[in-house]
């Protein structure tokens, strides 16, 4: 099986029908919602085979796991010390992307991103 249809870093990439990555204003965000990811659907997270999403034409869940790399290609650490944050709803993903898209070139958005994510834990 081929893992990529080209050998360059694309602005958009899909991941085995259960997530995607995209470049935003010099950052890279990964949104994953398949088996093993930190998502609310326990059947998918714990009891679904890793390749199962590839057998579906459409695959989805209500929450996703998010990882963001900074402009130096280093993962952003969340307030809990992890590089990923889980159980994120689509509205929150939209806010995270908006924060990255509007981030000035010399600004570190980590505090703002953590504030957005902290609101989902309330």
Range from 9-23, 39-53, 100-114 carrying the lowest mean pLDDT: 39-53
Q: What is the pTM of this model?
A: 0.85
The answer to whether the beta carbons of residues 52 and 74 sit under 8 Å apart is no
Q: Which residues contact 104 (CB under 8 A, 6 or more apart)?
A: none
Which is more confident, 14 or 93? 93
Number of H helices, E strands in the chain: 3, 5
State the average pLDDT for the chain.
85
**Residue 3 confidence (pLDDT):** 52
Of 67, 48, 46, the C-alpha closest to 59 is 48
What sign has the CA pseudo-torsion 57, 89, 80, 78? positive
The answer to whether the beta carbons of residues 109 and 77 sit under 8 Å apart is no
In the chain, what is the greatest distance between 2 CA atoms, to the nearest angstrom?
A: 43
Per-residue pLDDT tens over the stretch 73-90:
999 999 889 999 999 999
């Amino acid at each position: 099986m081929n893992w990529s249809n080209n050998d360059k870093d694309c602005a958009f990439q899909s991941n085995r029908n259960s997530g995607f990555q995209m470049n935003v204003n010099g950052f890279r965000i990964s949104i994953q919602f398949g088996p093993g990811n930190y998502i609310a659907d326990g059947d998918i997270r714990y009891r679904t085979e890793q390749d199962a999403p590839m057998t579906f034409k459409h695959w989805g869940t209500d929450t996703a796991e998010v990882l963001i790399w900074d402009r130096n290609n280093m993962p952003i650490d969340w307030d809990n010390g992890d590089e990923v944050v889980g159980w994120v709803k689509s509205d929150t993903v939209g806010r995270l992307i908006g924060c990255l898209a509007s981030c000035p070139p010399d600004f570190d958005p980590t505090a703002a991103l953590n504030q957005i994510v902290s609101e989902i834990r309330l």
